[in-house]
Amino acid sequence: MAVGTILVILILQTVLRFNLLDEDLWKLYLPSFLDGIVLSLRYLGIILPLSVVIGFTIGWARISRFRTLSWPLSVFVDFFRGVPPIIVVIFAAVLGPSLLPARFQSQDIGIIIAALTLAMHSGAYQSEIFRAGFMSVPRGQLEAAQSLGMTNGAAMRFVVLPQALRLSIPPLANEFAVVIKDTSLLAIVGGFELFGSSFIFEQQILFSPGNQLSWIFVVWTAVALVYFVMTFAVTELLNAIDRRYHVKGLEAVTV
Amino acid sequence: MIRVEELEKHFGALHVLKGVSLEVQKGEVLVIIGPSGSGKSTLLRCINLLIEPDSGRVFLDGTQVNRRDIRPEWVRQQVGMVFQSFNLFAHLTALQNVTLGPIRVLGTDPTTAGAQGRKLLARVGLADKADAYPAQLSGGQQQRVAIARALAMNPKAMLFDEPTSALDPEYIREVLDAMAALARDGMTMIVVTHEMGFASEVAKRILFMDAGRIIEEGSPEEIFHSPKQERTRMFVGKILR
């Protein structure tokens, strides 16, 4: 994997004639680059955990006895699955703060609300992953647990949940990869995470005399590389968890 | 040991149990036969309260147990159940399947539960499969683990819901042997099965159920060879052939 990536970069460098380690560029770009990464990680720190909480809760609620919740929740899921996240982000950032008291009406608050809606967007997808996980545990096992004298709660905790979570991990890895890259959408409402900060920087060098056009390639290759590493790290982590808890005969079909 | 009086159960418009009464003495093996849809499985599930009956009374050791003030979990804990489709916990090894109940419900410490579990697995002939996952076991082995799992709760009685119906023919014998051994050890058992050999050998009494009612009751000899009711005769004729 790593070898392949390096190879692709080397080929790109040769074909497009740029140098990824161009010192003159990095002197100018490094601050925006690092600030962007830090901000991206911060957003992810909010979005990823929150999306899992939302997805798990909705997925559970939709298979549970709380049937009354099922209809509004399915509307929530269908809405976020059916609308492009970029539109949701714009609406959230622009309209969100206006619903709050005046002292909270700022762009920063708008960006945070947009980040929260990204978590909801992914939560909608994840709820289906968790729901599928729950539903793929045969009902008979719940009956067997109950007939040992377990309460519903205990049967859920010791029998259904361990299997449902195992089956959810591979498709979750897939979804996390999407979420990581979707954080770049926050740039369009002024959340200058890695993509946004690099975009601003690119605009600057484009119009500064004496700068090389090939720097654009350097910037975007570096940005892509960071997204790649983040995605790779998170999916590898989940794969490792998957392998650690792997049980023969209990496998999910990867989406 | 187990007594059931006038059990009624509806599923929507379907009248599944129409006033079923029966009694099983301590150490007795009762076999229930009958066509599919006759209410046998529902009857078993009403006895351990996996299904709440609409009306009627279920007694365990002389105490009525389908009452508001008795937790169904407490009843199920004392009545073991073995299912047609085994229902082993797929994420746990054979031994963990057997010890989960004692550890989580009875609060047995894991070391003691493990030792007991190994003994129970040895009792059903699976001492060497303790660390195998269900998917690595044959149907017959899975069902024997399921029997050990139910026994681990030290139940007063055991319910078997067509325990061999989902098995390939070559695995039926080993499961029936394990059940016969259990009966010899004095376990009180209610068994829904169509295994005539097993019923003749192990059961003192056989009940024939059809359309939510007990139609006929008698010794294996009477039910299989000289049934009084026409419906029993027709059914026995079909399964003996």
Q: What is the DSSP letter of A253?
A: P
Closest chain A residue to B92, measured at CA: A247
Would an 8 Å CB–CB cutoff place A247 in contact with chain B?
yes
Q: Which DSSP helix (H) or strand (E) runs through B157?
A: strand B157-161
Q: What is the four-CA torsion angle of B84, B90, B93, B97, rounded to 10 degrees?
A: -50
The contacts of residue A146 (CB under 8 Å, 6+ apart) are A152, A155, B50, B73, B76
Per-residue model confidence as pLDDT tens digits over B2-53 = 999 999 999 999 999 999 999 999 999 999 999 988 999 999 999 999 999 9
Chain B residues in contact with A136 (beta carbon < 8 A): none
Q: Beta partners for B17?
A: B9
Phi and psi at B29, nearest 5°, equal -115, 120
User: Which of B194, B200, B101, B201 is CA-nearest to residue B146?
Assistant: B101
What integer best gives the mean pLDDT of chain B?
Answer: 94
Give the pLDDT of residue A252: 53
Chain A residues in contact with B89 (beta carbon < 8 A): 141, 144-145, 159, 163
Q: What is the distance in angstroms between the Cα of B89 and the nearest Cα belonging to chain A?
A: 6
The contacts of residue A240 (CB under 8 Å, 6+ apart) are none
Asked if A150's CB is within 8 angstroms of B73's CB, the reply is yes
Asked if A148's CB is within 8 angstroms of B105's CB, the reply is yes
Q: What is the distance in angstroms between the Cα of B223 and the nearest Cα belonging to chain A?
A: 31
Q: What is the DSSP letter of B81?
A: E
Give the pLDDT of residue A253: 45
Q: Are B24 and B186 in contact (CB under 8 A)?
A: no
Give the distance, in angstroms, between the CA of residue B76 and the centroid of all CA atoms in the same chain: 12
Q: What is the DSSP letter of B228?
A: S
Question: What SS3 state is found at A151?
Answer: coil
Instruction: Read off the pTM.
Output: 0.86
For residue B165, what are its two tokens?
Answer: 């119906």
Would an 8 Å CB–CB cutoff place A150 in contact with chain B?
yes
The residue count of chain B comes to 241
What integer best gives the mean pLDDT of chain A?
Answer: 87
Chain B residues in contact with A143 (beta carbon < 8 A): 50, 83, 87
For chain A, which residues score pLDDT lower than 70?
A: 67, 210, 252-255
Rounded to whole angstroms, the Cα distance separating A114 from A43 reads 10
- Going by DSSP bridges, is the β-strand pair B79-82/B157-161 parallel, antiparallel, or unpaired? parallel
> CA–CA distance from B105 to each of A89, B60, B77, B111, B151 (Å)?
48, 19, 8, 15, 14
Provide the sign of the torsion angle of the four alpha carbons A165, A170, A171, A177, taken in this order: positive
Nearest to B73 among A151, A158, A250 (CB): A151
- Tokens 């539903």 -> residue: A135
Give the pLDDT of residue B57: 95
Helices (H) and strands (E) in chain A, counts: 10, 0
Per-residue model confidence as pLDDT tens digits over A109-166 = 888 889 999 999 999 999 999 999 999 999 999 999 999 999 999 999 999 999 999 9
Rounded to whole angstroms, the Cα distance separating A37 from A228 reads 12
Q: Are A170 and A241 in contact (CB under 8 A)?
A: no
Rounded to whole angstroms, the Cα distance separating B155 from B188 reads 9
Rounded to whole angstroms, the Cα distance separating B51 from A32 reads 64
Rounded to whole angstroms, the Cα distance separating A149 from A145 reads 7
Q: Are B47 and B75 in contact (CB under 8 A)?
A: no
Which of A54-68, B66-80, B192-206 is predicted least confidently?
A54-68
Per-residue model confidence as pLDDT tens digits over B108-146 = 999 999 999 999 999 999 999 999 999 999 999 999 999
Rounded to whole angstroms, the Cα distance separating B168 from B140 reads 8
> CA–CA distance from B236 to each of A7, B45, B173, B210, B226 (Å)?
75, 24, 21, 12, 10
Q: Beta partners for B208?
A: B33, B216
User: Which of A218, A176, A193 is CA-nearest to residue A23?
Assistant: A218
Give the pLDDT of residue B241: 65
